[in-house]
């Protein structure tokens, strides 16, 4: 019963997971993942690495996730699960890599600049 500890990131969300062989229970911040992520889209995002390699309900996952929004958190958890599955078996890597689950998405919100309304939006220009 080996515990695998991995981290996944997306935007400002950081997910730390602890994966063990088990019955397929996924807990996010001490709650069931269906309760934490009420929208079915985010639940499907969480299950994608398992369905890609047909691992169904053979692992228990405990997740600590913080920062960002609900979508960024779901995608951060997906990345961490994919990394853990690769550590369990290197045979999983090509399938997960092809789906893009192992690639860190570097897009972040651009910071606001001084003298501007937002990052790039300028104040309205008045000629007269």
| Domain 4-99: CATH architecture, name and number where available | 2-Layer Sandwich (3.30)
Q: What is the mean pLDDT of the chain?
A: 93
For residue 1, is pLDDT > 70?
A: no
pLDDT attached to residue 110: 95
pLDDT band with cut points at 50, 70 and 90 for residue 125: very high
Residue 117's CB is within 10 A of a number of other CB atoms, namely 11
What b-and-e string marks burial along 81-116, b requiring 16 or more CB atoms within 10 Å of the CB? bbbbbbebeeebbebbeebebbeeeeeeeeeeeeee
For residue 33, is pLDDT > 80?
A: yes
pLDDT attached to residue 10: 94
Share of the chain above pLDDT 70, in %: 99
Question: Would you list the domain boundaries of the chain?
Answer: 4-99
């Amino acid at each position: 019963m080996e515990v695998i500890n991995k981290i996944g990131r997306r935007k400002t969300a950081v997910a730390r997971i602890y994966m063990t062989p088990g019955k397929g229970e996924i807990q996010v911040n001490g709650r069931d993942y269906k309760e934490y992520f009420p929208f079915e889209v985010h639940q499907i995002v969480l299950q994608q690495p398992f369905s890609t390699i047909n691992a169904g309900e053979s692992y228990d996952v405990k997740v600590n996730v913080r920062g960002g929004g609900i979508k960024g958190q779901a995608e951060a958890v997906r990345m961490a699960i994919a990394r853990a599955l690769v550590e369990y078996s290197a045979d999983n890597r090509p399938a997960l890599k092809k789906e893009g689950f192992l690639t860190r998405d570097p897009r972040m919100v651009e910071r606001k600049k001084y003298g501007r309304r937002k990052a790039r939006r300028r104040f309205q220009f008045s000629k007269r």
